[in-house]
Structure 1
Amino acid sequence: MEKEKLIKLLFDGKIDDATRDDCAIYLAKFIDDDVVATLINVANDLKNEEMIRASCGESLAEIWIEMNKIDYDVLNSLEEPARTEVLGYFKHNKPEWYLEYEKRY
């Protein structure tokens, strides 16, 4: 599925949560700043189900690792459970980023 369609479905509150969650997961395949911004936006919208916000966090972690670029302030500003998902992913896949986050915050 194309990136634009996944983003549109992820933002569509009329779509069932399982489909929106799948969209968040699939977006990890698209390594770009638009997807990062989308995932942050959805992860920080407390109207979204926790499952969706958590998947946004995991996808965001995957993309940051693939880009080899992280913004610790953005990470720290993520709402739960997205932040926990990012940190858990880093702990197992990029431990130096996890330890850096722990030092800073």
Structure 2
Amino acid sequence: MLKIFSIGKTGKSGPQQPPARAGAAGGSTHLSAGEREALLIGILRGTAPGGVQMHERYDAASDLEDFPSDEVTAALTEIASDAQEDETLVALCAESLAGIWIARGAVERDVLVRLPPWGRREVEQRVARSAPELLASQQDAVAEVGDRDGRTLR
């Protein structure tokens, strides 16, 4: 099985380029950003080829924050909103979602309310530390939205 994670000088694990392999023409093969993203999503979901250990899923949950695509947020949301999933994995997915939302400048309230309490707590703590205005603006935005009968949603 190909090792794709290692601890670097910073102490943070992250996706690593596989060693260069000589191709038929003597070139090297590397994963593109899209391929790394897809591989990390497979690892997060536990569907990557060759089997996946829990610590690899933890690493993938953290590393996916660096790939803020819709596919990544969907995968992180899927795991983070599953109350039957490992609590640490849920918390790591929620933390990565928070990082993506901070970078985008908006918290996805519909996702936040679906998270189990420990996942929601991770998001709220990280956003409160890094961009507390996003929590306040989210609360204001939700208060201004009305349903079809004109009532305010809470």
- TM-score (norm. length: structure 2): 0.61
DSSP-derived class of the 1:77 partner: coil
Task: Look up the match of 2:135.
Answer: 98
Give me the identity figure in percent.
31
Task: Look up the match of 2:79.
Answer: 42
The answer to which structure has the higher helix fraction is 1
Of residues 70-79 and 25-34 in structure 1, the stretch that sits farther from structure 2 once superposed is 70-79
Deviation at 1:98, TM superposition (A): 2.3
2:88 alignment partner, one of 44, 48, 51 = 51
Of residues 18-27 and 39-48 in structure 1, the stretch that sits farther from structure 2 once superposed is 39-48
More RCO (CA 8 Å, sep 6+): 1
Deviation at 1:92, TM superposition (A): 0.4
Q: 2:55 aligned with 1:18, yes or no? A: yes
Q: Aligned partners of 2:110 and 2:123: how far apart in 1?
A: 13
Instruction: Tell me how many residue pairs correspond in the alignment.
Output: 105
Output one character per residue of 1:7-64: Cα deviation in whole Å (capped at 9) or x when no partner.
0011117522211011000000001111111100011122321000000000000011
Task: Look up the match of 2:39.
Answer: 5
Task: Look up the match of 2:66.
Answer: 29
Deviation at 1:94, TM superposition (A): 0.8
Task: State the one-letter code of the partner of 1:49.
Answer: D
Task: State the one-letter code of the partner of 1:15.
Answer: V
Task: List alignment gaps of at least 5 residues for structure 2.
Answer: 1-14, 16-35, 143-153
2:105 alignment partner, one of 61, 68, 82 = 68
Preserved contact between residue 17 and residue 49 of structure 1 (Cα < 8 Å): no
